[in-house]
C-alpha cells in the first residue's frame, strides 16, 4: 500500500506540473509585449522592439483555434477513414486511401496555401485545409496500425461472447487504439503549431503575424518574439496532449 | 476419480433432444478439408472432450457451435434448432466461450470482464453485481482482485476470470478451447478439478477441446476422438480406452501406455480388500481410498512394495491393495 501511496504522491506532483506550465505560458505571452528593452538590440534603429499591432494573447488563441480545429478534423477524418477501410467492403479502398494521404503529405504547405487561396479565398480556411492535410497521415497510419494490431484472440473472444461489430469497435478496438492515436495526434499537433504560422501569409491571424511582419519589415526583434511565443505555445499544447494520452493509457 | 455419473436429466424431452448436433458437417479452410461429413451428437449435461491429432478439426468443430465458423455443408443444431437460421450475436450470448490464455480485455478490470455478457444482455446493475460476487466465490478468486486488471493476475487467475466470464450469464452450454494448455502443471490440475466439479454441480453441457489425453480422460463423461475430419470414436473414457490394439484410437490414446490410462479411471476403494492377517503394519506404505489405481501403482513402484495399506480421508486403515488387485477384472 505504501508503494501505491508513494506512486500517488508522484502522480500528484506530475498533476501539479501542468497547471504550473500553463500559468507560465500565460505569463510569458502577457510579458513579451512589455519586454521591449530585452529585444531593443535586435530591432533596427528607430523601429519598435516588440509587436503591438494586435495583442499576443489574442494571436495565440487564434493560433490555437486554427490548430485545434485542424487537429479535430484530422482526428475525425483519419480515424473515420481507418475504421472504414479496416472492415467489410471498405477494405478494397485501403491501398488507394493510404497512397492518397501519403501523397498529400508530400505537397509543401506553402504550395497548399497558394493553391487553396484562389479557390477558397484568404483567411483561416485555407490554413486549416493545409493543416488537416498534414495532420491526417500520422493519425490515419497509426490508427490503421493499431486496428491491425488488435490481438486476434481478443477479437475472437469478443465475437464469441456476442459483441456486435459496432460493440467490438467501441468497447475493444477504439479503447486499445486510443493511446497510440493520441500519441500520433500529438505529433500532428506539434507540426501544425509550426505550420500554422505560415497562415499569416494568407491573412489568417496567428502567432505568425509578428514573424511575417518582422521578415517583411526586416525587424529580427519581431521574428524572435514570434518564435518564442510559438515555441512556448507548442510546449503547452504538447503538455496537455501528453496528459490526455497518459489518461487514455491508464489501465 | 471414477468416471462421473451422467448428470440427472430433469425431463424426458431433455434426454430425447441432444444439446448440440452435427449433421454431416463439411468444412474446408484455405483449400484443405478440415471436417469431412462429421456426425456428432452431444447429449445435454455431458462433459464432452474433443481430442485428436493437430489439424484434425477439433477447434473448428467447436467454433461451428457458436458460428465463429460456418459449415460448407451439413448443419449444426443447438437445442434442436439449425443455428444457421439464428442471429449469430444472440446465439453467442447464450453460449459460454473460453479460449486459451483467457482472451480477457486488457483495458477492463476483472469485474468488467466478468460482466461482459450480462451487460450486453442488459441486466440491471444489482443483478450483475450479485452474479459477479457469486462467480468470484465459485472460481475461488480473491475478493480484492475484482478491481484489478488482467495483467496484474497470474495465468491461472486469468483463466479463472475467463471461465467466470463465460459462466456469467448462466449459459446452458460452455465451449472451452484448450483452456488450460498454457498453464503450469500444478495450476492445470487444480483448474481441471474445479471445472469438473462446476460442471457436475451445474449440469451444464461442456464441449472441451484439448490435445492432452490425460486431461481428456480425467474430465470427460464422453470422449470424441477426431481423425482427419471424422469421428474416429465416441464413448466414455472406459469405452474408448478399451480400444483394440492396432486401431487408431488405441494408438492415439497411448498405445503401449494405454494400460496406465485405464488404471487412471479406476479407484482404489473399488479394488481394496478388507484388512486381513497379512496386512502391512501402520508404518507401511499407504494409499488413499479415493486415489486412482494409477496413483496406487506409482506408490508401489516408489516404495518397492507389492501391497499397500488403504486409508480413508481421516488416515484410518480401511483395507489393503495388492499388486494382483491392479489387473483388469
In chain A, which residues touch B (CB < 8 A)? 153-154, 156-164, 167, 171-172, 175-176, 251
Contact B93 A162 (CB under 8 A): yes
Angle at A245 between CA B150 and CA B119, to 5 degrees: 45
User: Residue B224: CB partners within 8 Å, gap ≥ 6?
Assistant: B40, B48, B49, B50, B51, B231, B233, B234
Q: How many CB atoms lie within 10 A of CB B185?
A: 8
More confident residue, B128 or B311: B128
Q: Which of B57-66, B128-137, B281-290 has the lowest mean pLDDT?
A: B281-290
| pLDDT score of B20 | 94
Q: Which CATH number fits domain A3-250: 1.10.287.610, 1.10.3720.10, 3.90.1150.10, 3.30.450.20?
A: 1.10.3720.10
Buried b (16+ CB within 10 A) or exposed e, B79-95: beeebeeeebbebbbbb
Residue A184's contacts (CB-CB under 8 Å, 6 or more residues apart) are A138, A139, A141, A142, A143
Question: Is the per-residue pLDDT at A4 higher than 50?
Answer: no
Picking from A38-42, A98-102, A135-139, which range would have the lowest pLDDT averaged per residue? A38-42
Going by C-beta distance under 8 Å and a sequence separation of 6 or more, which residues neighbour residue A108?
none
Secondary structure, 3-state, B210-244: CCCHHHHHHHCCEEEEEECCEEEEEECHHHHHCCC
* Nearest by Cα to A200 from A101, A83, A54, A69: A54
- Yes or no, beta carbons of A162 and B91 under 8 Å apart: yes
> Given the C-alpha cell 516408489, which residue does it identify?
B302
* A162 → closest Cβ in B102, B117, B151: B117
Q: Is the pLDDT of residue A157 over 90?
A: yes
CA atoms of B224 and B220, how far apart (whole Å): 9
Q: Which positions ≥6 away from A30 have C-beta within 8 Å?
A: A56, A57
Whether the pLDDT of residue A58 is over 60: the answer is: yes
Most B-contacting residue of A149, A151, A157 (CB-CB within 10 A), to test interface: A157
| Pick from B103, B151, B175: CB nearest A153 | B103
Distance from C-alpha of A139 to C-alpha of A149, rounded to nearest angstrom: 15
In degrees and rounded to multiples of 5, residue A214 shows phi and psi of -65, -40
CB atoms under 10 Å from CB of B314, counted, come to 6
Q: Average pLDDT, stretch A137-166?
A: 92
Residue B325 has, within 13 A of its CA and on its CB side, a CA count of 24
Which residues from chain B sit within 8 angstroms of residue A173, using beta carbons? none
Written as nine digits, the cell of B135 is 462467480
What global pTM score does this model have? 0.81
The pairing of beta strand B205-209 with beta strand B47-51: parallel
Residue B15 has what pLDDT? 54
Q: Is the pLDDT of residue B329 over 80?
A: no
B25 neighbors B73 (Cβ within 8 angstroms): yes
B90 contacts in A (CB within 8 Å)? 162
Least confident range from A22-31, B175-184, B306-315: namely B306-315
Task: Write down the pLDDT at residue A8.
Answer: 44
pLDDT band, very low/low/confident/very high, at A204 (cuts 50, 70, 90): confident
- Considering Cα of B130, then B168, then B108, then B122, what sign does the dihedral take? negative
Residue of B nearest to A166 (CA): B89
State the Cα–Cα distance between residues A43 and A220, nearest whole angstrom. Answer: 6
- Per-residue pLDDT band for A109 (boundaries 50, 70, 90) equals confident
Contact A113, A126 (CB under 8 A): yes
Chain A residues close to B103, C-beta within 8 Å: 153-154, 156-157
- Out of A159, A161, A251, closest to residue B107 by CB: A251
Q: H or E stretch including B317?
A: strand B317-322
Q: Which of B20, B25, B31, B103 is nearest to B69 (CA)?
A: B25
Mean pLDDT across chain A: 87
Contacts for B78 with CB less than 8 Å, ≥ 6 apart: B19, B20, B65, B86, B91, B95, B173
Average pLDDT over residues B85-112: 92
| A142: number of Cβ within 10 Å | 22
Q: What is the mean pLDDT of residues A210-218?
A: 91
Chain-chain contact of B105 with A172 (C-beta, under 8 angstroms): yes
The pLDDT score that the predictor gives to residue B207 is 96
- DSSP one-letter code for A90: G
pLDDT of residue B102 exceeding 80, the answer is: no
Contact B212, B181 (CB under 8 A): yes
Q: In sequence order, what are the residues at sequence separation of 6 or more whose Cβ sits closer than 8 angstroms to the Cβ of residue A135?
A: A70, A71, A73, A74, A75, A78, A185, A188, A189, A191, A192
Q: For residue B328, count CB atoms less than 10 angstroms from its CB and return exposed for 0-12, middle for 13-18, buried for 19 or more.
A: exposed
- C-alpha to C-alpha distances, B243 to B9, B154, B233, B234, B237, nearest whole angstrom: 29, 39, 9, 11, 10
Q: Is B165 on the interface with A (CB under 8 A)?
A: yes
pLDDT, mean of residues A89-93: 87
Look at residue B115 and give its three-state secondary structure.
coil
Strand, coil or helix: B75: strand
For residue A7, the model assigns a pLDDT of 43
How many CA within 13 A on the CB side of residue B176? 34
Quick check: B120 and A157 CB within 8 A? no
Average pLDDT over residues A43-54: 82
Residues B300 and B322: their CA atoms lie apart, in Å, by: 9
Is the pLDDT reported for residue A14 higher than 80?
no
Nearest-angstrom CA–CA distance, A226 and A229:
5
pLDDT for residue B5 is more than 50? no
Predicted pLDDT of residue B222: 95
Task: Please answer whether residues B174 and B200 qualify as being in contact, where contact means their C-beta atoms are separated by less than 8 angstroms.
Answer: no
Q: What is the pLDDT of residue B2?
A: 43
Angle between helical axes of A174-195 and A220-249 (0-180°, round to 10): 180
With an 8 Å Cβ cutoff, is B284 touching chain A? no
Kindly state the percentage of chain A with pLDDT values over 90: 49
Residues 79-118 on B with a CB inside 8 Å of A are 89-94, 97, 99-107, 116-117
Residue A202 pLDDT class (50, 70, 90 cuts)? confident
Q: What is the pLDDT of residues B206-229, one digit of tens each?
A: 999 999 999 999 999 999 999 988
Confidence (pLDDT) at B41: 93
Residue B11 pLDDT grade (very low, low, confident, very high; cuts 50, 70, 90)? very low
The mean pLDDT of A86-106, rounded to a whole number, is 86
Yes or no: say if A160 and B68 are a contact pair by the CB < 8 Å rule: yes
**Cα–Cα distance measured from residue A63 to residue A236, given in angstroms and rounded to the nearest whole number:** 13
Is residue A246 very low, low, confident or very high in pLDDT (cuts 50, 70, 90)? confident
| Mean pLDDT across A47-53 | 82
Q: Out of B68, B90, B106, name the one closest to residue A160 (CB).
A: B68
CB–CB contact B107 A176 (8 Å): yes
pLDDT surpassing 80 at residue A81: yes
| Amino acid B277: pLDDT | 57
Q: Is the pLDDT of residue B279 over 70?
A: no
- pLDDT of residue B50 exceeding 90, the answer is yes
Amino acid at each position: 500500500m505504501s508503494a501505491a501511496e508513494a506512486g500517488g504522491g508522484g502522480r500528484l506532483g506530475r498533476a501539479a506540473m501542468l497547471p504550473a506550465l500553463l500559468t507560465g505560458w500565460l505569463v510569458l505571452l502577457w510579458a513579451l509585449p512589455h519586454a521591449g528593452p530585452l529585444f531593443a538590440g535586435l530591432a533596427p534603429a528607430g523601429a519598435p522592439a516588440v509587436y503591438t499591432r494586435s495583442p499576443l494573447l489574442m494571436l495565440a488563441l487564434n493560433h490555437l483555434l486554427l490548430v485545434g480545429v485542424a487537429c479535430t478534423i484530422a482526428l475525425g477524418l483519419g480515424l473515420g477513414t481507418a475504421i472504414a477501410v479496416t472492415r467489410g467492403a471498405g477494405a478494397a479502398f485501403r491501398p488507394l486511401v493510404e497512397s492518397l494521404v501519403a501523397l498529400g503529405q508530400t505537397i509543401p504547405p506553402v504550395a497548399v496555401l497558394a493553391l487553396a487561396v484562389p479557390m477558397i479565398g484568404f483567411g483561416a480556411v485555407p490554413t486549416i485545409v493545409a493543416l488537416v492535410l498534414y495532420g491526417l497521415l500520422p493519425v490515419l497510419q497509426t490508427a490503421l496500425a493499431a486496428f491491425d494490431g488488435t490481438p486476434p484472440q481478443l477479437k475472437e473472444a469478443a465475437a464469441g461472447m456476442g459483441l456486435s461489430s459496432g460493440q467490438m469497435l467501441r468497447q475493444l478496438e477504439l479503447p486499445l487504439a486510443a493511446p497510440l492515436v493520441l500519441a500520433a495526434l500529438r505529433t500532428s499537433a506539434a507540426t501544425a503549431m509550426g505550420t500554422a504560422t505560415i497562415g499569416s501569409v494568407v491573412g489568417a491571424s496567428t502567432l505568425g503575424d509578428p514573424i511575417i511582419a518582422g521578415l517583411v519589415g526586416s525587424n529580427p526583434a519581431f521574428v524572435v518574439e514570434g518564435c518564442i511565443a510559438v515555441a512556448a505555445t507548442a510546449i503547452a499544447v504538447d503538455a496537455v496532449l501528453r496528459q490526455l494520452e497518459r489518461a487514455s493509457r491508464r489501465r | 476419480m471414477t468416471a462421473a455419473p451422467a448428470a440427472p436429466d430433469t425431463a424426458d424431452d431433455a434426454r430425447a433432444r441432444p444439446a448440440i448436433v452435427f449433421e454431416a458437417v463439411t468444412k474446408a479452410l484455405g483449400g484443405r478439408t478440415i471436417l469431412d461429413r462429421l456426425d456428432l451428437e452431444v447429449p445435454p449435461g455431458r462433459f464432452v472432450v474433443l481430442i485428436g491429432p493437430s489439424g484434425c478439426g477439433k477447434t473448428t468443430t467447436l467454433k461451428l457451435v457458436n458460428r465463429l465458423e460456418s459449415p460448407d455443408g451439413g448443419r449444426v443444431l443447438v437445442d434442436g434448432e439449425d443455428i444457421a437460421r439464428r442471429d449469430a450475436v444472440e446465439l453467442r450470448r447464450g453460449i459460454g466461450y473460453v479460449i486459451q490464455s483467457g482472451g480477457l480485455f486488457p483495458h477492463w478490470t476483472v469485474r468488467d470482464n466478468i460482466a461482459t455478457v450480462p451487460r450486453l444482455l442488459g441486466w440491471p446493475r444489482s443483478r450483475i453485481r450479485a452474479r459477479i460476487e457469486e462467480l468470484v466465490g465459485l472460481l475461488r478468486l480473491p475478493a480484492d482482485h475484482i478491481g484489478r486488471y488482467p495483467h496484474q493476475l497470474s495465468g491461472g487467475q486469468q483463466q479463472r476470470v475467463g471461465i467466470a466470464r463465460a459462466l456469467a450469464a448462466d449459459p446452458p452450454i460452455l465451449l472451452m478451447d484448450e483452456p488450460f494448455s498454457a498453464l503450469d502443471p500444478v495450476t492445470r490440475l487444480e483448474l481441471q478439478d474445479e471445472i469438473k466439479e462446476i460442471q457436475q454441480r451445474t449440469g451444464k453441457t461442456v464441449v472441451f477441446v484439448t490435445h492432452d489425453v490425460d486431461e481428456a480422460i480425467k474430465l470427460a463423461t464422453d470422449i470424441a476422438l477426431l481423425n482427419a475430419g471424422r469421428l474416429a470414436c465416441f464413448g466414455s473414457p472406459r469405452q474408448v480406452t478399451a480400444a483394440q490394439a492396432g486401431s487408431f484410437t488405441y494408438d492415439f490414446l497411448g498405445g503401449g501406455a494405454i494400460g496406465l490410462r485405464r488404471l487412471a479411471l479406476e479407484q482404489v476403494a473399488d479394488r481394496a480388500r478388507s484388512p486381513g492377517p497379512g496386512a502391512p503394519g501402520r508404518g507401511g506404505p499407504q494409499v488413499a481410498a479415493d486415489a486412482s489405481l494409477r496413483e496406487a501403482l506409482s506408490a508401489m513402484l516408489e516404495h518397492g512394495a507389492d501391497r499397500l495399506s488403504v486409508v480413508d480421508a481421516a488416515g484410518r486403515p480401511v483395507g489393503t491393495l495388492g499388486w494382483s488387485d491392479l489387473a483388469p477384472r
